[in-house]
Amino acid sequence: MTPGYFDAMGIARLRGRTFTRLDVEGSMPVVVVSANMAQAFWPRADAVGARIKYQGALRTVVGVVAGVRHFGLDHDAPFEMYTPHAQQPSYHTMTLVIRSGGFRAAGSGFFGFSTRYLEPETSEPAVALMPSIRRELWAIDRDVPISAVRTLDQVVSDSTEAPRFRTVLLTAFAGLALILAIVGVAGVIGHGVSRRTQEIGVRVALGATTGRVVAMIVGEGLRPTLVGILIGAAGALAIARVVSGLLFDVAPADPAVMAISAATLVVAALAAAWLPARRAARVDPMIALRSD
């Protein structure tokens, strides 16, 4: 890593320092470690100042940074150790990280060539900077191959493509199931209302108001819905561990999510019961009493 890498990547420095231009070959070998590694190996002491043997050298820990999920959002951040590029310049392939929007880029040496920094004067979109990046790199060495030029948004999007597809598919099926449930509840309630025409007519004839009739029909439609919500909540808690592998930074039994889901089902049940209830409230008592 070169100076500026952590700033370009937005990796927070928690303790100590990151790399500087003074961390070169011949100076004190240094290393920066991730927070989870510091917690694991130095749980009761500050990792900064500790010594660790890495890549054949005894290095001093000079800083602790936040963990990074390099292998995908569905993997926890691994233990990470970062070393200055100038203290191990033997790599033949390097990754150049550039942060757009007026931030200085983190540069890397390519095949032993010196590092350059790009400092965009305007807040251009990252995609618009790609031709300029290629030109700057080829100005260093025309023979350096450049591949896999992507924005960080593209990297994250690619890593979440499969979970995102599953989420869209499950959402589509859930929406279809919700629509079918609304239609089914409305049909059942409507059928029940049609069979109770005389009863509703008698209630209206005896003075039942429109609001009272609507409340009665809607309440009868909500009772089985509430029972179903309780059963569904118990089932969701039972299979929480099964679906936990499909979730990122979301608890499978999140109370807020379950409350929103329950509220959505209640609103759906209200919508399904409203039309039959309004139709029942408009029943003419005389016609209802004369019907078979």
Looking at the fold, whether 142 and 176 belong to one and the same domain comes out as no
Final residue in a domain of this structure, among 125, 153, 181: 153
Final residue in a domain of this structure, among 153, 174, 205: 153
In eight-state DSSP terms, residue 258 is: H
Cα–Cα distance for residue pair 123/82, rounded to 1 Å: 29
Number of domains in the chain: 2
Looking at the fold, whether 66 and 189 belong to one and the same domain comes out as no
Looking at the fold, whether 111 and 67 belong to one and the same domain comes out as yes
Cα–Cα distance for residue pair 119/101, rounded to 1 Å: 9
pLDDT at 128: 73
pLDDT at 63: 92
Closest of 36, 106, 102 to residue 69, by C-alpha: 36
pLDDT at 89: 64
Looking at the fold, whether 9 and 115 belong to one and the same domain comes out as yes
DSSP character string of 200-232:
HHHHHHTT--HHHHHHHHHHHHHHHHHHHHHHH
Element (H, E) at 243: helix 240-243
pLDDT along the chain (292 residues), means of 10: 84 90 87 92 88 85 89 80 81 73 42 36 60 80 76 77 83 85 74 71 74 79 82 81 67 77 80 75 63 54
Reported for 234-241, long-range contacts at CB under 8 A and 24+ positions apart, including other chains, are: none
Looking at the fold, whether 145 and 62 belong to one and the same domain comes out as yes
CB 241 within 8 A of CB 253: no
Looking at the fold, whether 146 and 171 belong to one and the same domain comes out as no
Final residue in a domain of this structure, among 153, 181, 216: 153
Looking at the fold, whether 147 and 35 belong to one and the same domain comes out as yes
Q: Which domain holds residue 247?
A: 160-290
Looking at the fold, whether 21 and 76 belong to one and the same domain comes out as yes
Looking at the fold, whether 119 and 167 belong to one and the same domain comes out as no
End-to-end, the C-alpha distance of the chain in Å comes to 86
Looking at the fold, whether 11 and 103 belong to one and the same domain comes out as yes
> Residue 183 is which amino acid?
V
Looking at the fold, whether 147 and 169 belong to one and the same domain comes out as no
Looking at the fold, whether 33 and 139 belong to one and the same domain comes out as yes
